[in-house]
Structure 1
Amino acid sequence: MGDDMTDSNDVRDIREVLDFWFPEGRALDIDPDRHAKLWRWRMHGGADGEIAARFGPLTERGAAGALDHWAATPGGRLALIVVLDQFPRSLWRGSALAYAQDPAALAQALAGLENGDWAALGLPWFQIAFTQPLGHAEGPDHLARIDRLIALRRDIAARGPSALRPLYASLVDQAGKVRRVIASFGRHPHRNATLGRNSTPEEEAYLQRGDFPHLRAFRD
Structure 2
Amino acid sequence: MELFTKFKVWFGRLCYALPATPLAEEKPIMSTMTEKNLQDELIEFMFLRDPTGTLDAMRCLGLWFGKSNDTDIEIKTRFGSHVALALSGGYESWKTTPRGCLALMILVDQFPRNIYRHTVNSFSGDKMARSIVDAPHEWLKVLQPEECVFVPCLIMTHQENLEDQERGVRFYHQLEPSLPAELHIFRTIFEEHLRIIKLCGSFPHRDHYYGRETSDVGRMLMENPKVRFDLPLIAENGTMKFGHDPKKLWFATQRAFDALERIEAFATETEKRGYAEPASWLSEKEVAECHETFRAFDKDGNGSFDLEELSTVLSSTGRVYSKEQIQKAMDRIADVENAACITFEQFSALLRVDMNLTLEARVLQRFRNFDVDGSGEISLEELRNCIQSLDDLVTGAEIEEMLKLCDGDGNGEVSFEEFSAMLPKHHSEVTV
Q: TM-score range by the shorter chain?
A: 0.7 to 0.9
Which residue of the partner structure matches residue 44 of structure 1?
A: 66
Question: What TM-score do you get using the length of structure 1 for normalisation?
Answer: 0.83
1:67 aligns with 2:88: no
Classify the secondary structure of the residue corresponding to 1:198: coil
Q: Distance in 1 between matches of 2:182 and 2:142?
A: 19
Name segments (4+ residues, structure 1) moved above 6 Å. 25-28
Which residue of the partner structure matches residue 6 of structure 1?
A: 31
Percent of aligned positions that are identical:
20
| 2:185 maps to amino acid | S
8 A contact 2:109–2:126 mirrored in 1: yes
Deviation at 1:45, TM superposition (A): 2.0
Which residue of the partner structure matches residue 18 of structure 1?
A: 43
Question: 1:27-54: CA deviations, max 9, x gaps?
Answer: 6744xxx412312311232431211111
Task: Give 5+ residue unaligned stretches, structure 2.
Answer: 1-27, 242-432
Q: Which has the larger helix fraction?
A: 1
Deviation at 1:146, TM superposition (A): 1.7
Deviation at 1:5, TM superposition (A): 2.5
Q: Distance in 2 between matches of 1:14 and 1:25?
A: 19
| 1:120 maps to amino acid | K
1:84 aligns with 2:108: yes
1:176 aligns with 2:201: no
Deviation at 1:200, TM superposition (A): 2.5
1:137 aligns with 2:152: no
1:93 aligns with 2:117: yes
Q: Distance in 2 between matches of 1:106 and 1:27?
A: 33
Q: Distance in 2 between matches of 1:194 and 1:210?
A: 20
Which residue of the partner structure matches residue 193 of structure 1?
A: 208
Q: Distance in 2 between matches of 1:213 and 1:120?
A: 33
1:147 aligns with 2:166: yes
Task: Give 5+ residue unaligned stretches, structure 1.
Answer: none
Which moved further from structure 2: 115-124 or 72-81? 115-124
Deviation at 1:122, TM superposition (A): 3.3
Classify the secondary structure of the residue corresponding to 2:117: coil
1:157 aligns with 2:179: no
Deviation at 1:208, TM superposition (A): 3.7
Question: What TM-score do you get using the length of structure 2 for normalisation?
Answer: 0.44
Which moved further from structure 2: 3-12 or 184-193? 3-12
Question: Would the alpha carbon gap of residues 62 and 37 (structure 1) be closer, same or farther in structure 2, given more than 3 Å must change?
Answer: same
